[in-house]
Amino acid sequence: MTATSAPAPLDPVIVDIERRWKESGIPGLYDGGDGPVSRERARNIRALLYPKPKLAQGVIESRSIPGSGGEIEVRIVRPLEGEPIGTLVYLHGGGWVVGDLDSHEAHAIRLANHAGVVVLNVAYRLAPEHPFPAAYDDTTAAVDWAHANLASLGGAGKPLALGGDSAGGNLAAAAALYCRDAGIALKAQLLLYPATHLGRNMSEPERAYLGDQASVLALDPRASPLMAATLAGVAPVIFGVGVYDFLYQDNLAYIAALRAAGVPVLFREYGNLNHGFFSYTAISSVCEAAANQLCEDLRSQLQA
């Protein structure tokens, strides 16, 4: 499907999620709530409407790593079978306000098993308690740590990649610019419906993340990777987005900018999916197939 063709109908499972959420009377994740309220609401919604898939898992190790704002909690998720082919630093979604290691552990397990990587799943600091650039700083600290510790992760001499969904995709894309400038070799970026220009979609989570100077900070490429002076030289990108995603146009603009800068992009556009589909794999075979395809894409890129 091209960006100009008509989309297929939205996956009926997702339509049902939206209907049941509306009928439940539960507000939107960020409506009228502070960080703790939104996080509790997110946990309840996930349990009610899209529970985590039950996946066979390899060894998972919880530990902390150093960061400029204190210790950063991480989980190291290993493949169920076989030797890893590399390391993936993964940043969870949740609008920089919600989400945690538990909410996205299944993402990490799927990526570990299907892509054959050791996943460093990162619990970066959340807004509004920790506004920008706290999450970005934790992300780059995690990348630095992973780069220095590849031997104990996916293996010394094996490739390093960055990935994330939604707000986590934003952090991954911003950190890829950091890696380029710091001389840290990345083999791939896995960007799942990331926010790339925060000034274009300035809603509750963006304002919580950026704080009182949101309109100014949205121009900072650490917050909005699309605002970088150049994207040339960043790692190749695997990009997944549904045409019903509210970030779809944002994502098309970022893909165009990457390609204009000479960055290789594998673009997976799903005509019947919306935002967050990687979280719906337990209830939607369409979402599961898309998620598995993107994992296999990452494997292929790391082995290229």
- Closest C-alpha to 133, from 161, 99, 182, 171: 171
- For the segment 23-36, what is each residue's pLDDT rounded down to a tens digit? 999 999 999 879 99
- For the segment 64-91, what is each residue's pLDDT rounded down to a tens digit? 999 999 999 999 999 999 999 999 999 9
Catalytic residue among 38, 103, 166, 224: 166
Phi, psi of 132 (to 5 degrees): -45, 135
- For the segment 108-148, what is each residue's pLDDT rounded down to a tens digit? 999 999 999 999 999 999 999 999 999 999 999 999 999 99
Catalytic residue among 107, 165, 275, 279: 275
Distances (CA, A) of 121 to 18, 98, 136, 226, 289: 28, 15, 15, 24, 22
Q: State the pTM of this model.
A: 0.97
CB proximity list for 224: less than 8 A, separation 6 or greater: 196, 197, 198, 199, 218
- For the segment 154-209, what is each residue's pLDDT rounded down to a tens digit? 999 999 999 999 999 999 999 999 999 999 999 999 999 999 999 998 999 999 99
> Are 268 and 209 contacting, i.e. CB atoms less than 8 angstroms apart?
no
pLDDT above 70 as % of the chain: 98
With a cut of 70, say whether residue 1 has pLDDT above it: no
What tokens were used for 65? 């790593």
Question: Tokens 């999450």 appear where?
Answer: 135
> Are 154 and 298 contacting, i.e. CB atoms less than 8 angstroms apart?
no
> Are 268 and 293 contacting, i.e. CB atoms less than 8 angstroms apart?
yes
Which pLDDT band holds residue 49 (cuts at 50, 70, 90)? very high
128 preceded by a cis bond (ω within 30 of 0): yes
Rounded Cα–Cα distance for residues 44 and 27 (Å): 11
Would you state the pLDDT for residue 186?
Answer: 98
- For the segment 182-191, what is each residue's pLDDT rounded down to a tens digit? 999 999 999 9
CB proximity list for 82: less than 8 A, separation 6 or greater: 116
Give the amino acid at 175. A
Phi, psi of 282 (to 5 degrees): -75, -20
What tokens were used for 94? 């949740």
Residue 130 annotated in active site: no
3-class secondary-structure state, position 88: strand
Residue 144 annotated in active site: no
> Are 96 and 126 contacting, i.e. CB atoms less than 8 angstroms apart?
yes
Rounded Cα–Cα distance for residues 53 and 40 (Å): 20
What tokens were used for 290? 């898309």
Residue 275 annotated in active site: yes
* Whole-angstrom Cα Rg for the chain: 18
- Per the document, the length of the chain is 304
Would you state the pLDDT for residue 201?
Answer: 82
Catalytic residue among 144, 245, 250, 297: 245
Rounded Cα–Cα distance for residues 3 and 7 (Å): 9
Rounded Cα–Cα distance for residues 17 and 7 (Å): 19
Rounded Cα–Cα distance for residues 99 and 109 (Å): 16
Query: What is the set of domains in the chain, with CATH numbers?
Result: 12-303 (3.40.50.1820)
What tokens were used for 105? 């552990």
With a cut of 90, say whether residue 16 has pLDDT above it: yes
With a cut of 80, say whether residue 5 has pLDDT above it: no
